[in-house]
Structure 1
Amino acid sequence: MHPIDARTLEIFRTVAETGSATRAAERLNSTQPSITRAVGAFEKQCGFKLFERGRYGMTLTEAGSALLESVDRSFAGLNMVQEAIGQLRLGLPGTLRTVAIPVVAEGALCDLLAEFARAHPRVAINIKSAHPQTVVNDILTGEVDLGAIIGAPPQGFDLAARVIGERRMKIAVPADHRLANRDRIHFRELHGEQFVMMVQPHNIRLAVETMMNDFGVRPSIAHEVSTQRTVVELARRTGAIGFADDEVIDSVSRSDVMAIELDPPTRWNINLIYRRDRKQSPVCETFLQWLDAR
């Protein structure tokens, strides 16, 4: 197989994004016939169809979709190289790339990196918010230097972990709920209540299901959502009970929703994690040294 040039990959990626050789040609300052020829030649080189041609455009085949994921990763790496060149031209030592679930990205991780940025004003900070599984995947694939998760890092990988904070799970109930005037509620008392839950997998979902099993509470899941803030907002609007991080609940107006302690309490560490088996970038090494001396 002949080497694949970057232009071919750019054409493939643009056609996939636009769904049309004509629109891809406009974006790439080319012509529709040349784009069509390039795609056809690339398919011949690959040995399988990348697109289904139809009356309303071009859609990726299953093989084309799988290939696009690999191409996107390649372009992400290229963008990192280009950004590094730009930073060096400006005289900056580099960018610290991080990822975390939204509540940590906006809270503990942001606070920590802001402190680091004040100590090292020539370093650029990049914080990405993502689903927990994406956080781990980005660290393992090298898309980022490090990330932050709630709870222990996954087993089976050579990941270093450093505690940078702690979070507590509470229940969120509307102000007019029968339990709203309580300071603390035992999990057994929630039997028969309607719950708003995080979708799997999530530490809070796992903790709630474990406690349900331990205390014989029959699950009554009315709603499932993908963010903790949505848990709180939906609990407030529907009258169901939501399980969320205490900071998230506290960020919602206390006149609308109450944050109540659980008995027994559930707490997790916020862990900063990174690959132990990979050489860190100079800016990441600087950050880790700063963290040690902090």
Structure 2
Amino acid sequence: MAKLTYRQIEAFRAVMVNGTTRAAAETLFVSQPAVSRLLTDFEETIGVKMFERRRRRLIPTPEARFFYEEVERAFVSLEKLSRVAEELREFPLGALRIASMPAVSVEFLPALTDQFCQLHPGVSVTLQVRNTQQVVDLVASQHFDMGIISGIELNDPSIEINVLADSRLVCVLPSRHRLASHDVIRPQDLEGEIFVSLGSEQSIRKKIDSVFDREGVSRQLMIDTQLHYAACAFVLAGNGVSLVDPITAWHYRRLGLIVKRFEPRVPYRYSIIAPKQRGQSDLARSFLELLDKSLIELEKESAGLFERKLQPEALVAGNGVAGNK
């Protein structure tokens, strides 16, 4: 049995819509005999009579009306696909799925996402906030287009990882703290202070503790939390001091927190991950470009409290391995 051609179906639809072969021919920009021939071939191919011919008029049979319903559904789908393809060229439509650790999700990513949506009206954005390992799992399973994590070491062959920023932890103090006038905070300055620690199972906690242990500085370790923004909230309420990531600290600075440079350098890396076997979409590239610009602006705004790249003096000092590993 011969197969139906798209042209035959197109002729059938045009006749059903316009009522006559003449009107159908005008719609298809072909001759009337050409439409009649296509209809004849169409009926012979499917082996079913589709029209009654009465006084030069074509009267659709019940079979024709039934078949036409299916044809219309198919044509509507094709037209929709054509519109989507057209829109994708300008990418006003689409979806971007981002998973992120909490450290950049309090203000930075929501503000960045708002900018992105203004640049690309019609794009839907999903932002899931999870711990770093959960972010890795979501991206590895290809449920998300990208993930933002701390700089842990990854050995997953399904994930591609790139460094966003090699930065450092900063010291956060409550307003009117005795150290508010200091440009740089050192371990000795925090002797006897109530210290808000990050979770004991986090490797960054060990790095922080080792800095104070080496200097023989004793702190009051009375508060422990998993999240950088929770640590900032404790400090803002006057419940001690802490060392946290600079992006979170910069958000709380606007709320009244004092943010200071801390020496010696405790590295903190922000990384971006994506599924390795899947190409990057135009939307993802556009978001990453905007993300990089925002980090450049943040570095300038914070006067270097947030660092995008490891500083040469840190490398000379032997602190070249950045990240929360």
Please classify the TM superposition score into its range, dividing by the shorter chain length.
0.5 to 0.7
**Which residue number in structure 2 is paired with residue 196 of structure 1?**
196
Q: Secondary structure at the match of 2:252?
A: coil
**1:150·1:203 contact (CA, 8 Å) conserved in 2?**
no
1:245 to 2:241 alignment: no
Q: CA deviation at 1:165?
A: 4.2
Q: CA deviation at 1:227?
A: 2.5
Letter of the 2:137 counterpart = N
Q: Counterparts of 1:266 and 1:175 in 2: how far apart (Å)?
A: 23
Q: Counterparts of 2:254 and 2:173 in 1: how far apart (Å)?
A: 10
Under a length normalisation based on structure 1, what TM-score does the superposition of the two structures give?
0.56
1:128 to 2:116 alignment: no
**1:173·1:239 contact (CA, 8 Å) conserved in 2?**
no
Letter of the 1:164 counterpart = L
Letter of the 1:198 counterpart = L
Q: CA deviation at 1:222?
A: 0.8
**1:108·1:164 contact (CA, 8 Å) conserved in 2?**
no
Change (3 A) 1:254 1:240: same
Q: Counterparts of 1:242 and 1:170 in 2: how far apart (Å)?
A: 8
Q: Secondary structure at the match of 1:251?
A: helix
**Which residue number in structure 1 is paired with residue 221 of structure 2?**
221
Letter of the 2:275 counterpart = R
**Which residue number in structure 2 is paired with residue 96 of structure 1?**
96
Q: Secondary structure at the match of 1:252?
A: helix
Q: CA deviation at 1:124?
A: 2.0
Q: Counterparts of 1:237 and 1:291 in 2: how far apart (Å)?
A: 35
Larger Rg: 2
**Which residue number in structure 2 is paired with residue 73 of structure 1?**
none
Q: Counterparts of 1:139 and 1:205 in 2: how far apart (Å)?
A: 26
Q: Secondary structure at the match of 1:99?
A: strand
Q: Secondary structure at the match of 1:207?
A: helix
**Which residue number in structure 1 is paired with residue 282 of structure 2?**
286
**1:195·1:220 contact (CA, 8 Å) conserved in 2?**
yes
Instruction: State which drifts further: 254-263 or 111-120.
Output: 111-120
Higher percent of residues as strand: 1
Root-mean-square deviation over aligned CA pairs: 3.5
**Which residue number in structure 2 is paired with residue 145 of structure 1?**
145
Letter of the 2:282 counterpart = T
**Which residue number in structure 1 is paired with residue 171 of structure 2?**
171
Q: CA deviation at 1:164?
A: 3.4
Letter of the 1:285 counterpart = S
Q: Counterparts of 1:88 and 1:154 in 2: how far apart (Å)?
A: 42
Q: CA deviation at 1:219?
A: 5.6
**1:99·1:105 contact (CA, 8 Å) conserved in 2?**
no
Q: Counterparts of 2:289 and 2:230 in 1: how far apart (Å)?
A: 38
**2:148·2:272 contact (CA, 8 Å) conserved in 1?**
yes
Q: Counterparts of 2:209 and 2:137 in 1: how far apart (Å)?
A: 25
**Which residue number in structure 1 is paired with residue 273 of structure 2?**
273
Under a length normalisation based on structure 2, what TM-score does the superposition of the two structures give?
0.51
**1:101·1:149 contact (CA, 8 Å) conserved in 2?**
yes
Query: C-alpha offsets along residues 233-257 of structure 1, whole Å, 9 cap, x if unaligned?
Result: 2123344112223343343367853
**Which residue number in structure 2 is paired with residue 16 of structure 1?**
none
Query: C-alpha offsets along residues 175-198 of structure 1, whole Å, 9 cap, x if unaligned?
Result: 343323222111233243221022
Change (3 A) 1:196 1:118: same
Q: Counterparts of 1:254 and 1:137 in 2: how far apart (Å)?
A: 33
Percent sequence identity is 21
Change (3 A) 1:116 1:174: closer
Q: Secondary structure at the match of 1:197?
A: strand
Query: C-alpha offsets along residues 50-79 of structure 1, whole Å, 9 cap, x if unaligned?
Result: xxxxxxxxxxxxxxxxxxxxxxxxxxxxxx
Change (3 A) 1:287 1:202: farther
Letter of the 1:154 counterpart = E
Q: Mind listing any 5+ residue stretches in structure 2 that lack a counterpart?
A: 1-79, 291-325
**2:104·2:247 contact (CA, 8 Å) conserved in 1?**
no
Number of residue pairs matched? Answer: 203
1:154 to 2:150 alignment: no
Q: Counterparts of 2:117 and 2:236 in 1: how far apart (Å)?
A: 37
Q: Mind listing any 5+ residue stretches in structure 1 that lack a counterpart?
A: 1-86
**2:96·2:284 contact (CA, 8 Å) conserved in 1?**
no
Q: Counterparts of 1:183 and 1:122 in 2: how far apart (Å)?
A: 46
Q: CA deviation at 1:99?
A: 0.7
Change (3 A) 1:243 1:176: same
Change (3 A) 1:292 1:195: closer
Letter of the 2:160 counterpart = A
Q: Counterparts of 1:115 and 1:198 in 2: how far apart (Å)?
A: 31
Q: Secondary structure at the match of 2:281?
A: helix
Change (3 A) 1:210 1:175: same
Query: C-alpha offsets along residues 189-245 of structure 1, whole Å, 9 cap, x if unaligned?
Result: 324322102224446434313423443434642101233222122123344112223
